Chain A
Amino acid sequence: MFRNQYDTDVTTWSPTGRLFQVEYAMEAVKQGSAAVGLRSRSHVVLASVNKAQSELSSHQRKIFKVDDHIGVAIAGLTADGRVLSRYMRSESINHSFTYESPLPVGRLVVRLADKAQVCTQRSWKRPYGVGLLVGGLDESGAHLYYNCPSGNYFEYEAFAIGSRSQAAKTYLERRFESFKESSREDLIKDAILAIRETLQGETLKSSLCTVSVLGVDEPFHFLDQESIQKVIDTFEKVAEEEEDGGEAQAEADAPVEQGGAGDQDVAPMEM
């Protein structure tokens, strides 16, 4: 995308019918670190990569609990993500207070999308620079949605956003047909495997990822490091047995990749 004379204002159309500011906001999502979501009939798993600014700092939180039955993973400007999570929590708790019953996730997602749309049609505002993977329950079971800075939202069986998410998406595309009937454990395993794809050769450790689950009889919660490591061990071991020599080679190559160009270009506010 090149700089052009139609991209200064979010309220200026280009001659080809595009709103460049909105599209640039969607670029911000692509720069954030990866997050994936998958759902079965009864469960939703959200997972994200933990990237810290430096070795001295802690990593930013990218997955938030909205309510017992709704969770959200973000990619892009985390500050915008936090504000929207607060809005979602507020909507959810207001509904619970008035109706003593959980807000159906589909209705929350529409309100979120309408809120994002407002920012694409006011000259004194800017679009939110964050993509949200919203997982939650309603009367018809478990759902996963993706909310875009443009104000669009889509429902997915599985999706990945953020940097190097294409690798995760390719993995999910191969396997998504089985997700609907998946068991909770298989769903978690697939989520971690999808995260692994985005790491592109870096060794998968439980400290590198955050995983959260929610289900029909299971309120939203995070998996602790031990449980994540156990799942990683089940398939890392298999991989080791299969590719004895290959693994050693990959490990040697990994350090070179870690300092790669992609990370250094990431602006401090986008993680």
Chain B
Amino acid sequence: MTFTIPIDNGDSVKNAEADSQRTLYPYVTGTSIVAIKYKDGVLMASDMGGSYGSTLRYKNIERMKAIGKHSLLGASGEISDFQEILRYLDELVLNDNMWDDGNSLGPKEVHNYLTRVMYNRRNKFNPLWNTLVLGGVKKGESYLGMVSMIGVSFEDNHVATGFGNHLARPILRDEWHADLSFEEGVKLLEKCMRVLLYRDRSAINKLQIAKITEEGVTVSQPYSLKTFWEFQAFHNPTAGAQGSW
């Protein structure tokens, strides 16, 4: 893979070629992921939409996948880059299994590996256009972390990507506490996803919730949230803003 930092030498053909070798903009994108630690492990929610710009084009995209025995990866951003990352991780997990020696990659190791990959790609000006959420449980310890497309990486008790950072995190900051039960956790995530559904134009009403515990990963069947559109403010939405401005 060759790339040149575009210099103005009038050779636009060469630059165009070089540019086509690296990611400049995302095309098919997934929206927010929201995840929280709870009593038995980690809960993660995402919708199943893949937007093509402003078109809600794909409605059956699974944006959360199990990695090895101990981890769950959720991604927002460019779907094809997410698939590429899954290929890298597939190879990683395969090699880890081939050792067959009682050692296995835990969520911390996977998270750090991903951080290295994302940061290295960013340094080459060819990022994987995703924000990744990595959750897992190993030997009773829960782990939840995030990596952005520029390689910013951290762990927390609750994380969200994209719009989720602005709409869901404030709810979680107020209402998350340690040792949530499974039901409490799901209710909390649904509350966040409902707000996102109302306010994020790239969200669709078809979501999955995944849970990871010491036993392993389960991803729920897709389902929809109940919404309410009879709020007074929706009856005459332009009441406060008549006229052209």
A100 interface residue per 8 A CB criterion = yes
In the complex, whether B106 has a CB less than 8 A from a CB of chain A is: yes
A97-B105 Cα distance, complex, nearest whole Å: 14
Which one of B96-104, B162-170, B178-186, B205-213 is at the interface?
B96-104
- In the complex the two chains form, is B102's CB within 8 Å of A101's CB? no
Tell yes or no: A219 within 8 A of B by CB.
no
At the interface, yes or no: A140 with Cβ under 8 Å from chain B?
Answer: yes
Question: Do A100 and B101 touch (CB < 8 A)?
Answer: no
Task: Tell whether, in the assembled complex, residue A99 and residue B113 are in contact, meaning their CB atoms are under 8 Å apart.
Answer: yes
A54 at the interface (CB under 8 A from B): no
- With A100-B108, A101-B108: A138-B103 Cβ-Cβ less than 8 Å: yes
Tally of B interface residues using CB under 8 Å: 12
**Is B112 interfacial (CB-CB < 8 Å)?**
yes
- Does B199 sit at the interface, judged by CB under 8 A? no
Bitwise, A72-98 to B at CB < 8 A (1) or not (0) is 000000000000000000000000011
Q: Are A106 and B113 in contact (CB under 8 A)?
A: no
B106: contacting residue among A97, A98, A101, CB under 8 A: A101
A101 touches B112 (CB 8 A): yes
CB of B116 closer than 8 Å to a CB of A: yes
B109 in contact (CB, < 8 A)? yes
Which A residue's beta carbon lies closest to that of B99?
A: A107
Q: Is the interface of A mostly helix, strand, loop or mixed?
A: mixed
- Complex CA distance for A188 and B99, rounded to whole angstroms: 32
Q: Is the CB of B108 within 8 A of A98?
A: no
Determine how close the nearest CB of chain B comes to the CB of A97; give it in whole angstroms: 8
A-contacting residues, B64-101, CB 8 Å? 99, 101
Instruction: Digitize B178-219: 1 where CB-to-A-CB distance is under 8 Å, 0 elsewhere.
Output: 000000000000000000000000000000000000000000
* Closest beta carbon of chain A to B153's beta carbon, Å: 10
Considering the chains assembled together, what is the distance between the CA atoms of A246 and B180 in angstroms?
A: 72
Residues of B within 8 A of A139 (CB): 102-104
B105, B112, B113 — which one has the most chain A CB atoms within 10 A of its CB? Answer: B112
- B97-133 contacts to A, CB under 8 A, are 99, 101-106, 108-109, 112-113, 116
Instruction: Identify which of residues 168-219 in chain A touch chain B, using a CB-to-CB cut-off of 8 Å.
Output: none
How many angstroms between the C-alpha atoms of A99 and B99 in the bound complex? Answer: 16
Q: Taking the nearest CB of chain B, how far is it from the CB of A239, in angstroms?
A: 42
Q: Are B108 and A106 in contact (CB under 8 A)?
A: no
Give the complex CA separation of A99 and B115 in angstroms: 9
Residues of B within 8 A of A106 (CB): 99, 101, 103
Judge whether A138 and B108 touch: CB under 8 Å.
no
Q: Which residues between 105 and 150 of chain A lie within 8 Å of chain B, taking CB atoms? A: 106-107, 138-140
Chain B contacts for A97, CB-based, 8 A:
116
| Bound Cα distance A138, B113 (Å) | 19
Question: Known: A98-B116, A99-B113, A100-B112. Is A107-B105 also a contact (CB below 8 A)?
Answer: no
B103's closest neighbor in chain A, by CB?
A: A104
Residues on B with C-beta less than 8 A from A104 are: 101, 103
B residues in contact with A140, CB < 8 Å: 102-103
Interface CB pairs A-B, < 8 A, 12: A98-B112, A98-B113, A99-B109, A99-B112, A100-B108, A100-B112, A101-B109, A104-B103, A106-B99, A106-B101, A107-B103, A139-B103
Interface residues of B (CB under 8 A from A): 99, 101-106, 108-109, 112-113, 116
The 3 lowest CB-CB distance pairs between A and B, nearest first, are A99-B109, A100-B112, A104-B103
Contacts A98-B112, A140-B103 given; 7 further ones with Cβ under 8 A? A100-B112, A104-B103, A106-B99, A106-B101, A138-B101, A139-B102, A139-B104
